[in-house]
Structure 1
Amino acid sequence: MSTGSPRQLWLLPVLLITVIATALGGLLARDLYSEPVTPPPATVVATSPSPGPPEEQPGPADVRGTADAVVHPLYHTLRKLLQTYFNAVNAKDYAQWSSAVTYERQTNQPEQKWRDEYASTKDGNIVMHRVEARGDGTARVLLTFTSTQAVTDAPQELPEPCIHWNVVWAFSTEDGEWKLAAGPASATPQHEACG
């Protein structure tokens, strides 16, 4: 009875070791590439923070997001844009503000008009609640924030030194970059006096 040639005897263990090594390599690669995504940054808030006492208004100027907003693919891009926008308002920096908005919005709010309207404004307690993107290069953000201002710089319909805003702001791409746009959603905010 023949047990096979010596060449055939060593081929089977080598083939078996190769198959086992390949399977183990595949399992290791799967584990390596299926690491959980890093948790959202520290800018996540559960809900809108409760306003502090009047002397602490408008609150922190950093733009934060709820868990719902943070998971949206556009969150970081639009958050950075909003941070530029609010930093510009707080610093009274029209050039910086202009870099965050569309050309149409700049045209509707030339520098002197902008300076007159935001002369005493400070914004804070800024929270992105929801981000909705559309396939046509536009998006909307549900946003809340608090502003403080001289009563003379407040909206005519709400002449108050401190206002809580609940807005839906429009965004669009212009020259390949996201910008805060003019639009009906941005033009009709809901707001109420602090207190």
Structure 2
Amino acid sequence: MSVYCTVCGTRRAESANYCTHCEAGFEESHPTRSTEAPASYGQGWYVGATVALAVAVTLVIIGLNALIVHSVNGTIEDSDSRIFGSKLDSNGYVVPAEGNPTSEEAPTWSPPPTEYVTTEPTFEPTPDPTPTPEPTLGNELVSITPEAAQNPAASAVIELLTTYYRAINDHDYLTYQAQQTRAAQALLTRPDFATGFRSTVNSEVVVQALTPTADGRLLASVTFTSNQDAADGPKSQTCTRWAVGKFLKGRSPALLIDKAPKTYKATFDPC
């Protein structure tokens, strides 16, 4: 007759000495239960206990998950942290935060539109190049025309005539003579110089032209004004405008005033 294990209640297989479930031995000394197994034992009870255990474990896991989610949400809310403008719900899913955009993507920044102002290009006329001024020659006493200034000897001529006419104004006979050749020096002695130029003051000396002569000298055509006492002026003039020719001998810069030809005569007019 069939019997059941007195330890776990599993039905005993025929002629089996040990329980197929808990491996308890079936001995004659242990009382065995006959007929039907008690309601709390057998395979149905084992299945029920397993299901109950699984349910309990599931509940514990859900409770722990909720506790973790609550802790994470609390930390995020306290620090006002955001995951691309969202937060976690009670089930651990990312949801948009209140007042934030519903898009799950992070907001993108766009630069403000640049305003382009179209202006017409302005063109300023190119100024004409300033002509290079020609070198100016002369001083407060002696000047020279632009045409005469083109001669290579112009500077030497101005220097010579400046010294010559200043010597007359200063009544400096030696300096006056030093600006002339020996032939020219013989034309005027010291007494004649003192008498002829005792009241003379020359001004407005202008070199009008510089031209070579047939005998190799350089003719300086000069105009100037002289002021003097009536007794010392030509035809008793106190102001005279002169046009004379100075024949220059030598090579620039060593030029001297030479004796004029016998046929040459200066011209003059009253001021």
- TM-score category, normalised to shorter length: 0.5 to 0.7
Q: Where do residues 101-116 of structure 1 align in structure 2 (5 Å cutoff)?
A: 101-116=180-195
1:109-134 deviations in Å (ceiling 9; x for gaps): 01111111101000001100100124
Q: In the alignment, which residue of structure 2 is the partner of 1:84?
A: 163
Match of 2:134 among 39, 42, 56: 39
Match of 1:131 among 210, 213, 225: 210
| Partners of 1:169 and 1:186 within 8 A in 2 | no
**Aligned-residue identity in percent:** 24
CA distance in 1, matches of 2:163, 2:262: 20
Match of 2:240 among 144, 163, 172: 163
Q: Does 1:121 align with 2:216?
A: no
Quick one: which amino acid aligns to residue 105 of structure 1?
A: A
CA distance in 2, matches of 1:72, 1:185: 27
Q: In the alignment, which residue of structure 2 is the partner of 1:22?
A: none
Cα displacement (A) at 1:184: 2.7
Could you say what secondary structure the match of 1:153 adopts? coil
Structure 2 unaligned residues grouped into runs of 5+ = 1-130
CA distance in 2, matches of 1:104, 1:37: 43
TM-score of the two chains, using structure 1 as the length reference: 0.65
Q: Which has the higher helix share?
A: 1
Quick one: which amino acid aligns to residue 165 of structure 1?
A: W
The number of residue pairs the alignment matches comes to 140
Q: In the alignment, which residue of structure 1 is the partner of 2:266?
A: 189
| Partners of 1:172 and 1:180 within 8 A in 2 | yes
| Partners of 1:169 and 1:185 within 8 A in 2 | no
Quick one: which amino acid aligns to residue 39 of structure 1?
A: E
| Partners of 1:61 and 1:126 within 8 A in 2 | no
Structure 1 unaligned residues grouped into runs of 5+ = 1-35, 44-59
Q: In the alignment, which residue of structure 2 is the partner of 1:177?
A: 254
> RMSD of the alignment, in Å?
2.5
CA distance in 1, matches of 2:266, 2:172: 23
TM-score of the two chains, using structure 2 as the length reference: 0.47
CA distance in 1, matches of 2:243, 2:213: 21
Query: Structure 1 residues 141 and 40 mapped into 2: Cα distance closer, same or farther (>3 Å)?
Result: same
Quick one: which amino acid aligns to residue 179 of structure 1?
A: L
CA distance in 2, matches of 1:115, 1:107: 15
Cα displacement (A) at 1:172: 1.1
CA distance in 2, matches of 1:81, 1:185: 23
Cα displacement (A) at 1:91: 0.5
Rg larger for: 2
CA distance in 2, matches of 1:188, 1:166: 10
| Partners of 2:168 and 2:201 within 8 A in 1 | yes
